[in-house]
Amino acid sequence: MTLLADLLSTVFERRYRPFALRRRGTRPLPDLADELVGAAGETSGVSLATEILSGFGEMDDDEKRAFFSHLATEMNIDPEAVRTALDAYEQAPSKATYRAYMAAAEPRRQELIRRLNSLPGATRALVEMRADLLRLGRGTPELEALDLDFRHLFASWFNRGFLVLRPINWESPAHILEKITQYEAVHAIHSWDDLRRRLEPQDRRCFAFFHPAMPDEPLIFVEVALTRGTPGSVQALLTSERETLREDEADTAVFYSISNCQAGLASISFGNSLIKQVAADLSAGLPGLKTFVTLSPIPGLTRWLDSEGYEWQGASSEQMRALAAHYLLNAKLDNGDPVDPVARFHLGNGAIVHAVHGEADTSENGRKQSGGTMVNYLYDLAKVAQNHEQFATTRQMVATSEVRSLANSATLVKAEDS
Amino acid sequence: MTLLADLLSTVFERRYRPFALRRRGTRPLPDLADELVGAAGETSGVSLATEILSGFGEMDDDEKRAFFSHLATEMNIDPEAVRTALDAYEQAPSKATYRAYMAAAEPRRQELIRRLNSLPGATRALVEMRADLLRLGRGTPELEALDLDFRHLFASWFNRGFLVLRPINWESPAHILEKITQYEAVHAIHSWDDLRRRLEPQDRRCFAFFHPAMPDEPLIFVEVALTRGTPGSVQALLTSERETLREDEADTAVFYSISNCQAGLASISFGNSLIKQVAADLSAGLPGLKTFVTLSPIPGLTRWLDSEGYEWQGASSEQMRALAAHYLLNAKLDNGDPVDPVARFHLGNGAIVHAVHGEADTSENGRKQSGGTMVNYLYDLAKVAQNHEQFATTRQMVATSEVRSLANSATLVKAEDS
Amino acid sequence: MTLLADLLSTVFERRYRPFALRRRGTRPLPDLADELVGAAGETSGVSLATEILSGFGEMDDDEKRAFFSHLATEMNIDPEAVRTALDAYEQAPSKATYRAYMAAAEPRRQELIRRLNSLPGATRALVEMRADLLRLGRGTPELEALDLDFRHLFASWFNRGFLVLRPINWESPAHILEKITQYEAVHAIHSWDDLRRRLEPQDRRCFAFFHPAMPDEPLIFVEVALTRGTPGSVQALLTSERETLREDEADTAVFYSISNCQAGLASISFGNSLIKQVAADLSAGLPGLKTFVTLSPIPGLTRWLDSEGYEWQGASSEQMRALAAHYLLNAKLDNGDPVDPVARFHLGNGAIVHAVHGEADTSENGRKQSGGTMVNYLYDLAKVAQNHEQFATTRQMVATSEVRSLANSATLVKAEDS
Amino acid sequence: MTLLADLLSTVFERRYRPFALRRRGTRPLPDLADELVGAAGETSGVSLATEILSGFGEMDDDEKRAFFSHLATEMNIDPEAVRTALDAYEQAPSKATYRAYMAAAEPRRQELIRRLNSLPGATRALVEMRADLLRLGRGTPELEALDLDFRHLFASWFNRGFLVLRPINWESPAHILEKITQYEAVHAIHSWDDLRRRLEPQDRRCFAFFHPAMPDEPLIFVEVALTRGTPGSVQALLTSERETLREDEADTAVFYSISNCQAGLASISFGNSLIKQVAADLSAGLPGLKTFVTLSPIPGLTRWLDSEGYEWQGASSEQMRALAAHYLLNAKLDNGDPVDPVARFHLGNGAIVHAVHGEADTSENGRKQSGGTMVNYLYDLAKVAQNHEQFATTRQMVATSEVRSLANSATLVKAEDS
Indicate whether D348 pLDDT > 90.
Answer: no
pLDDT at C389: 79
pLDDT band of B50, cuts 50, 70, 90: confident
B47 vs C345 pLDDT, higher one:
C345
Mean pLDDT for the stretch of residues B94-113: 96
**Which residue has better confidence, B6 or D182?**
D182
Chain centroid to Cα B109, Å, comes to 25
User: Is some CB atom of chain C closer than 8 A to the CB atom of D266?
Assistant: no
Position C207 confidence tier, pLDDT thresholds 50, 70, 90:
very high
Is residue B174 less than 8 Å (CB to CB) from chain C? no
Higher pLDDT pick, C225 / B417 = C225
Residue D9 has pLDDT above 80, yes or no: no
Q: Which of C179, C263, C254, C281 is nearest to C221 (CA)?
A: C179
> Both C166 and C152 in a single domain?
no
| Residue B192 touches partner D, C-beta closer than 8 Å | yes
Q: Tell me the per-residue pLDDT of A10-61, one tens digit each, with 9 for 90 and over.
A: 443 333 344 444 445 678 889 999 988 886 666 667 788 888 999 999 899 9
Distance between CA D323 and CA D306 in Å, rounded? 12
Q: Is B273 on the interface with D (CB under 8 A)?
A: no
| pLDDT of A328 higher than 80 | yes
Q: Report yes or no: A372 and A322 within 8 Å, Cβ to Cβ.
A: no
Residues D262 and D325 in one domain: no
Beta strands in D70-186 (DSSP E): 164-167
Q: How confident is the model over D11-46, as pLDDT tens digits? A: 433 333 444 444 456 788 899 999 888 866 666 677
Give the pLDDT band (50/70/90) at residue B213: confident
- Please give the C-alpha separations between residue D38 and each of C381, C392, D42, D107, in angstroms, as whole numbers: 21, 12, 8, 13
Distance CA D410, CA D316 (A): 12
Which CATH number characterizes residue C147's domain? 1.20.140.90
Cross-chain CB nearest to A1 (options B117, B171, B210) = B171
Q: Indicate whether D380 and D401 sit together in one domain.
A: yes
Percent of chain B past pLDDT 90, that is, above it, reads: 65
**How distant is the alpha carbon of residue A215 from its chain centre?**
17
Q: How far is CA D46 from the centre of its chain?
A: 31
**Given this model, what pLDDT does residue B349 score?**
86
Query: In chain C, which residues have their Cβ closer than 8 Å to the Cβ of B4?
Result: 4, 8
Neighbours of chain B (3+ CB pairs under 8 A): A, C, D
Q: Which residues contact A251 (CB under 8 A, 6 or more apart)?
A: A227, A228, A229, A288, A289, A290, A291
Average pLDDT score over residue span C157-185? 90
Q: What are the tens digits of pLDDT across the range B30-40?
A: 999 998 888 66
Minimal CA separation from B111 to chain A, in Å: 9
Once rounded to an integer, what is the mean pLDDT over residues D224-241? 91
CA-to-CA separations, A265 to A17, A58, A153, A155, in angstroms, rounded: 20, 22, 11, 9
Q: What span, in angstroms and rounded, lies between the C-alpha atoms of D305 and A24?
A: 89
If asked whether residues D178 and D222 sit together in one domain, one would say yes
D169 inside 8 A of chain C by CB: yes
CA A133 to chain CA centroid, Å, is 17
- By CA distance, what is D171's nearest residue in B? B173
Q: A168 and A142 share a domain?
A: no
Q: How many domains in chain C?
A: 3
CA distances from B322 to B298, C83, C235 (A): 13, 91, 75
> Does some domain include residue A1?
no
**Do D40 and C390 touch, CB atoms closer than 8 A?**
no
pLDDT at C25: 64
pLDDT of residue A378: 96
Task: Name every chain B residue with its beta carbon within 8 A of the beta carbon of C5.
Answer: 8
- CA distance readout (Å), C23 to A245, A246, C15, C60: 20, 17, 19, 16
As separate numbers, helices (DSSP H) first and strands (DSSP E) second, chain A gives 20, 7
* pLDDT of the residue at C44: 66
Least confident of B250-254, B291-295, C42-46: C42-46
How many other β-carbons are positioned within 10 Å of the β-carbon of residue D229?
A: 10
* Shared-domain flag, residues B165 and B290: yes
Q: Do B127 and A85 form a contact (C-beta atoms < 8 A)?
A: no
Residue percentage of chain D with pLDDT more than 70? 92
Task: Report yes or no: C172 at the A interface, CB cutoff 8 Å.
Answer: yes
Say which residues have a Cβ less than 8 Å from residue B8's Cβ, sequence separation at least 6.
Answer: A4, C1, C4, C5, C8
- Contact flag A119-B11 (C-beta cutoff 8 Å): no
Q: Is residue C3 part of a domain?
A: no
User: Residues 277 to 336 of D: which have CB under 8 A from any C CB?
Assistant: none
**Whether C287 and C328 share a structural domain:** no
Domain enclosing residue A192, as ranges: 161-294
pLDDT of B333:
93
**Mean pLDDT value across residues A145-169:** 93
Q: Which residues contact B375 (CB under 8 A, 6 or more apart)?
A: B294, B295, B296, B298, B324, B328, B343, B353, B354, B355, B356, B357
**Cβ within 8 Å, pair D8-A11:** no
User: What residues of D are in contact with residue C165 (Cβ under 8 Å)?
Assistant: 6, 10
Q: Are B357 and B375 in contact (CB under 8 A)?
A: yes
Residue with the larger pLDDT of the pair B293 and C10: B293
pLDDT in tens, B362-416: 999 999 999 999 999 999 988 887 888 788 788 888 999 999 999 999 988 887 6
Q: What is the mean pLDDT of chain D?
A: 88
- Read off the CATH number of the domain in which D228 is found: 3.40.630.180
pLDDT for residue B306 is more than 90 = yes
Q: What pLDDT is stored for residue D50 in this prediction?
A: 87
Beta bridge partners of B393: none
Contact list, C147 vs chain D (CB under 8 Å)? 95
- The full DSSP string for A215-248 is TT---EEEEEEEESS----HHHHH-TTPPPPPGG
Do residues A342 and A258 share a domain?
A: no
**Model confidence at D161: pLDDT above 90:** no
Report if residue A5 sits inside a domain.
Answer: no
Report DSSP letters for A109-121, one per residue. HHHHHHHHTTSTT
The arithmetic mean of pLDDT across residues C17-34, rounded, is 67
B266 with B170, same domain: the answer is yes
Domain membership flag for residue C236: yes
Q: What is the pLDDT of residue B44?
A: 66
Condensed to tens digits (0 to 9), the pLDDT of residues D260-297 reads 999 999 988 888 889 988 998 999 889 999 999 999 99
- Decide if pLDDT at D4 tops 90: no
Nearest-CA distance from C180 to chain A in Å? 13
Task: Give A193→chain C minimum CA distance, Å.
Answer: 11
Q: Is residue C409 part of a domain?
A: yes
Domain match, D50 and D66 both:
yes
Q: What per-residue confidence (pLDDT) applies to C24?
A: 54
What is the average pLDDT value for chain A, to the nearest integer? Answer: 88
Q: Per the confidence metrics, is the pTM higher than 0.80? A: yes
Beta bridge partners of residue C209, listed in sequence order: C165, C220
Q: Tell me the backbone φ, ψ of residue D207, rounded to 5 degrees.
A: -135, 145
- What is the CATH classification number for the domain harbouring C408? 3.40.630.150
Alpha carbon distance, N-terminus to C-terminus of chain B: 73
Question: Which of A247, A264, A294 is a domain's end point?
Answer: A294
Helix (H) or strand (E) holding D256: strand D252-260
Q: Is D78 among the domain residues?
A: yes
* pLDDT tens column, B322-352: 999 999 999 999 988 999 999 998 998 889 9
Query: Does residue C11 have a pLDDT over 60?
Result: no
CA distance C227 to B353: 50
Average pLDDT, chain C: 88
Distance CA C361, CA C233 (A): 6
**Dihedral over Cα of D350, D354, D356, D360: its sign:** negative
Kind and range of the H or E element at D375? strand D374-378
Q: CA angle D389-D395-D399, nearest 5°? A: 85
Tell me which chain C residue has its CA closest to the CA of residue A215: C171
Q: Which of A294, A316, A338 is the last residue of a domain?
A: A294
pLDDT for C2 beyond 60 = no
pLDDT at C41: 61
Specify burial of residue C140 (Cβ count, 10 A radius: 0-12, 13-18, 19+).
middle
Helix (H) or strand (E) holding C317: helix C317-330
Contact C173/A172, CB-based, under 8 Å? Answer: yes
| C39 located within any domain | yes
Q: Work out the percent of chain B whose per-residue pLDDT is above 70.
A: 92
pLDDT at B20 over 70: no
Residue B30 and residue B151 share a domain: yes
CB B49 within 8 A of CB B36: yes
Predicted confidence at residue C9, as pLDDT, reads 39
Which of C111, C134, C157 represents a domain boundary (last residue)?
C157
Q: Please determine, for residue D123, whether its predicted confidence score (pLDDT) is greater than 90.
A: yes
- Do residue B43 and residue A350 have CB atoms under 8 angstroms apart? yes
Q: Does the pLDDT at position B263 exceed 60?
A: yes
Chain D contact for B3, CB < 8 A? Answer: yes
pLDDT > 60? residue B256: yes
Whether D226 contacts D247, CB under 8 Å: yes
Distance from CA of B219 to the nearest CA of C (A): 19
CA distance D212 to D166: 11
Q: How many residues are present in chain B?
A: 418
Which of C1, C3, C171 is the closest to A174 by Cβ? C171
CB C344 within 8 A of CB C337: yes
Task: Specify the range with the lowest mean pLDDT, choosing from A32-46, B108-122, B156-170, D317-331.
Answer: A32-46
Whole-number pLDDT of residue D192:
84
Considering the domain architecture, whether residues C195 and C289 belong to the same structural domain is answered as yes
Query: Average pLDDT, stretch C50-61?
Result: 92
Q: Is residue D277 part of a domain?
A: yes
Confidence of residue A397 (pLDDT cuts 50, 70, 90): confident
